[in-house]
Amino acid sequence: MLSQAAVSVFPHEIYKAPRSWAERAYPNLVYFNEVDWAITSLPGRNRRCLPPRSAPRSGHCASGAPRSFTARLTARSGCCHSPRMGLGERVRYQTSFTDSARWDGFVFRPGDIVISTPAKCGTTWLQMICALEIFKSAAFDRPLDQISPWLDVLLRPLTGVLADLEAQAHRRFIKTHTPLDGLPFDDRVTYLCASRDPRDVAVSLDSHTSNTDRAVSLALREDAVGAVVLDELLAAAPSLPSGTARERFWSWVNPAAPGKTVSDLEIMLHHLDTFWQVRDQPNIVLLRYEDLLDDLEGQMRYIAARLGIAITVTAWPDLVQAATFAVMKGRAGEIAPEASHDGFYHDPRQFFHSGSTGQWRQVLSEEELPRYAARVAECAPADLAAWIHRPALPAAGNL
């Protein structure tokens, strides 16, 4: 039995915890190291723990702690967030084209809405629904990506994005693909998230990647933030997917360099897990893409109720119609994300690729499902995996 203990930080072996957690595990704690930030090597994108603007900094517990203690700190191996968001340090997510540190410059207002979803899980759909319900009209005075900007994408100067948001007099709704543990948490703000069958996400993302012009994206990034550290980030990023559709699917499920892009299976499931852990909080709204497809009006009414927005009975039919896949695809030039940038897409309408479920069956056989299930089991708790996948996955097989 230890008479005294010290908790400190070792590079690449970091578990986030308040000092009180360490004290419960080590009653005779004599030293607790606190740091301004630390780079982690945990699964996910390049991730740095950032001190929040308003909460006191928390320390970290080295991995020399007893396994039972470290298990209590994390919902699953590799997760770098505490069970209650908004305490301790935020995680910085950084890729070649995104940086969650841009949230540091944003000041929340009561009633703000943050739409935080993994890529290709219905982000634009939720933005459209919020716009329709807030404005109570299907007519907008600007493209959707300017009304509801993607705050952490490096395609516009941050000063301009923040100025546009500050000038908005209506209820604001901001897009992000950053998990909840990378966002400032404010009890006055509602956080929306949507899940989708990851297998369909892989197929949809594959179509999206082939439809965007990388040269245009790089030029926009350089104009917005310059080329500083770009070469370093690009060198660390995986090469663009290649091979057959099936090979590209498995590259997304089990990439050579996981967590180095906006989306792969591991970062998607981690993102959902950050919401899953706090899904009972009053300002957390967790949805399913498939439920939006099955009952759009019912889900829109549910979202309005959670946001405290009153819609007249006579207004609902037009608002629901405007949020259908076909109508949104017909308005792709004003609704698709970043479509206000000339040349960003080869075809903006192709962003709305299918709007259906089960696309993955075109590339994945039933015999391969146990292999996929094994990878999911590595990345997500069983209850979350079961909630996402309906019908349930088969027993995990060999990777």
Catalytic residues: 177
Whole-angstrom CA distances from 152 to 179, 303, 339 are: 12, 24, 16
**DSSP-H helix ranges across the chain:** 19-25, 67-73, 123-135, 144-147, 158-167, 198-211, 214-225, 230-236, 245-253, 265-276, 289-294, 296-307, 316-322, 325-330, 332-335, 369-379, 382-388
For 62, phi and psi rounded to 5 degrees? Answer: -70, 160
Tally Cβ neighbours within 10 Å of residue 379.
25
| Residue 13: burial class (beta carbons within 10 Å; 0-12, 13-18, 19+) | middle
Q: 87: which DSSP letter?
A: S
Q: Concatenated DSSP letters for 233-269? A: HHHHSPPPP-S-HHHHHHHHHS-SSTTSSS--HHHHH
Whole-angstrom CA distances from 283 to 85, 105, 278, 300 are: 12, 22, 10, 17
For residues 43 and 113, give the distance between their C-alpha atoms in angstroms, rounded to a whole number. Answer: 27
For residues 225 and 116, give the distance between their C-alpha atoms in angstroms, rounded to a whole number. Answer: 23
Tell me which amino acid residue 42 is.
L
Ramachandran assignment for 103, one of left (phi > 0), alpha (psi -120 to 50 degrees), beta (any other): alpha
Q: 345: which DSSP letter?
A: B
For residues 221 and 285, give the distance between their C-alpha atoms in angstroms, rounded to a whole number. Answer: 32
Tell me which amino acid residue 309 is.
I
